[in-house]
Amino acid sequence: MRASQELSLGWVGVRDGAHPRSSTRPGLPHRGDAHVKLAILGAGVSGLALARTLAEGGFAPDDLTLFEAAPVPGGLCRSRTVEGFTYDVAGGHILYSKDAEVMDWMKAEAGGPSAFTSCERNTKIRFEDRWVHYPFENGLGDLPPQANFDCLSGYVQAWHERSVSNSTAPDDFGTWIQWRFGKGIAEHFMNPYNEKIWKRPLTEVSSDWVAGRVPDAPVEDVIRSAVGIRTEGYTHQSSFFYPLNGGFQAITDGMAGRVADRIRLNTLVESLQRTPSGWNVNGESFDLVVSTLPLDVLHSLVAEVPADITEAMQTLEFNGLVTYLVALDRPEQSDLSWIYLPHESQGPANRVTYMSNYSPNNAPEGKSSLLVEITYRGGAPVPAQSLEGETLKGLESAGLISRSEVLFADRADVSHAYVVFDQGYNARREAIFRWMDEVDLIPLGRFGRYEYDNSDLCVSKARALAAGLLARAARG
């Protein structure tokens, strides 16, 4: 991405494995200090991983406090069990990582390898009445002939134009899609699917976020797929792990259990006040504060935020998420992992996870379940309860369920689910970080840093920040 990859700010900054920067600022935690107090705002996966790693490294437990507004920790990794059906409230999570150490650490927090199932990814796109192999460009042979031709010819033309012109990637996502995939894939899949997710014109979305997330399929593989020769894409996700019991929250439960006495649940952060020696959080004194709270609300908590920084925070954009656990009175009928629904005729959902395939304990014996995801623009009214009917109608229209099989649907609402990378996002975010650096407020996490990070990367960055804090402490 074009944005800075610095993991933290101020004297604990860690960039590309570098040692933390030195400083003479007050409140530095070294082992000679009797009372160096650290506040972590938010007990989601980032805050918990930071606390756990600090505790592992010898940070005094009494000097560590996590503030969590919810009645349970876990943040976006929380799960829920209703009548024997378990699902992840912020959409279907999976455990995979390019970093084996991080993945092993996360497994250990939930009880070790034996506490997980291993799953082979089987992901499809429901294109009209057909199942198309995922990713879309590797499944062109599954399309109707005309759509197959449109997508292949457009892909080859786009590839050729990029090759001969040596052009740079367009700044906006809408233009980037056609530059990268061609007109056919843009019109048949990428545009309608992404408009469902982002809930805004795609030209308003920056292309920055796609770096490292959308691999460049070899043109030979796309041609093979179009003529019916199976090819695979996104192979780094070809297999994944999932907790046997308790949903994905089993991982954050494991982290939380080891620092449980340091977590204050049902505790909303109402004020942050800078002091000569650190910060007051809700009137309580701390030497250091790490915030995983969404940047777009931080200005309402901190006294005397400069007007330009307040504006930068207020104009950061995000999407909320409604999920439905659809409990079905039938055994699981497929080996699918998750699917994508690009068409409006398929209802408001953009993605469906086959939760009962992730673990045999996610549904009662003889039953199965689907987890349905629907995004909405952040700050807009939460979709009405009537959305359930529209959702079930769309699933039935897509051929996924029969309404007579539905036992119940359980709904969860997540106000902050996806960071939206609109034009100008990077400049606003960097301005916010410069101000946070000046006041010694350390950002961490998906919304604490406004980065599109999955749980493994959140853990990795939290552990890097902890290493910086501990290294500085060891040097005194």
- The string of pLDDT tens digits covering residues 102-143 is 999 999 999 999 999 999 999 999 999 999 999 999 999 999
CATH class, range 10-74+247-316+422-475: alpha beta
User: Exposure of 471 by Cβ count < 10 A (0-12 exposed, 13-18 middle, 19+ buried)?
Assistant: middle
pLDDT in tens, 247-258: 999 999 999 999
- What is the average per-residue pLDDT within 323-341? 98
Return mean pLDDT, the chain. 91
- Tokens describing residue 77: 């990794």
User: How far is the first Cα of the chain from the last one, in angstroms, to the nearest whole number?
Assistant: 34
Q: Where in the chain is the domain with CATH 3.90.660.20?
A: 77-123+239-245+318-419
Q: How far apart are CA 204 and CA 139, in angstroms?
A: 28
Exposure string (b/e) for 121-155, b if CB count within 10 Å is 16 or more? bbbbbbbeeeebbbbbbbbbbbbeeebbebbbebb
CB 350 within 8 A of CB 392: no
Looking at residue 217, its pLDDT comes to 87
Looking at residue 476, its pLDDT comes to 61
Looking at residue 460, its pLDDT comes to 98
Closest CA to 51 of 250, 253, 256: 256
CB 146 within 8 A of CB 360: no
In this prediction, residue 465 has a pLDDT band, given cuts at 50, 70 and 90, of: very high
CB 189 within 8 A of CB 125: yes
- What is the average per-residue pLDDT within 340-355? 98
Comparing 113-122, 230-239, 445-454, the range with the smallest average pLDDT is 230-239
Q: Where in the chain is the domain with CATH 3.50.50.60?
A: 10-74+247-316+422-475
CB 338 within 8 A of CB 92: yes
Q: How far apart are CA 431 and CA 313, in angstroms?
A: 9
- What is the average per-residue pLDDT within 421-449? 97
**pLDDT over threshold 90, residue 42:** yes
Q: How far apart are CA 290 and CA 13, in angstroms?
A: 12
Decide: pTM greater than 0.75.
yes
Q: How far apart are CA 89 and CA 86, in angstroms?
A: 9
- Tokens describing residue 347: 């209802």
In this prediction, residue 311 has a pLDDT band, given cuts at 50, 70 and 90, of: very high
Looking at residue 1, its pLDDT comes to 32
Q: How far apart are CA 378 and CA 428, in angstroms?
A: 18
Q: Which CATH architecture has domain 77-123+239-245+318-419?
A: Alpha-Beta Complex (3.90)
Looking at residue 38, its pLDDT comes to 96
Looking at residue 473, its pLDDT comes to 73
**pLDDT over threshold 60, residue 13:** no
Looking at residue 138, its pLDDT comes to 94
Alpha-carbon distances of 301 from 69, 304, 334, 445, 473, rounded to whole Å: 14, 10, 48, 18, 28
Comparing 119-128, 207-216, 280-289, 312-321, the range with the smallest average pLDDT is 207-216
- What is the average per-residue pLDDT within 84-112? 98
In DSSP terms, which residues pair with 118 in a beta bridge?
241
**pLDDT over threshold 90, residue 33:** no
Query: SS3 string of the chain?
Result: CCCCCCCCCHHHCCCCCCCCCCCCCCCCCCCCCCCCCEEEECCEHHHHHHHHHHHHCCCCHHHEEEECCCCCCEHHHCEEEECCEEEECCCCCCECCCCHHHHHHHHHHCCCHHHEEEEECCEEEEECCEEEECCHHHCHHHCCHHHHHHHHHHHHHHHHHHHHHCCCCCCEHHHHHHHHHCHHHHHHHHHHHHHHHHCCCHHHEECHHHCCCCCCCCHHHHHHHHCCCCCCCCHHHCEEEEECCCCCHHHHHHHHHHCHHHEECCCCCCCEEEECCEEEECCEEECEEEECCCHHHHCCCECCCCHHHHHHHHCCEEEEEEEEEEEECCCCCCCCCEEECCCHHHCCCCEEECHHHHCHHHCCCCCEEEEEEEEEECCCCCCCCCHHHHHHHHHHHCCCCCHHHEEEEEEEEEEEEEEECECCHHHHHHHHHHHHHHCCEEECCCCCCCCCCCHHHHHHHHHHHHHHHHHHHHHC
Comparing 167-171, 362-366, 381-385, the range with the smallest average pLDDT is 381-385
Exposure string (b/e) for 61-71, b if CB count within 10 Å is 16 or more? eebbbbbbeee
**pLDDT over threshold 60, residue 20:** no
pLDDT in tens, 167-210: 899 999 999 999 999 999 999 999 999 999 999 999 999 998 88
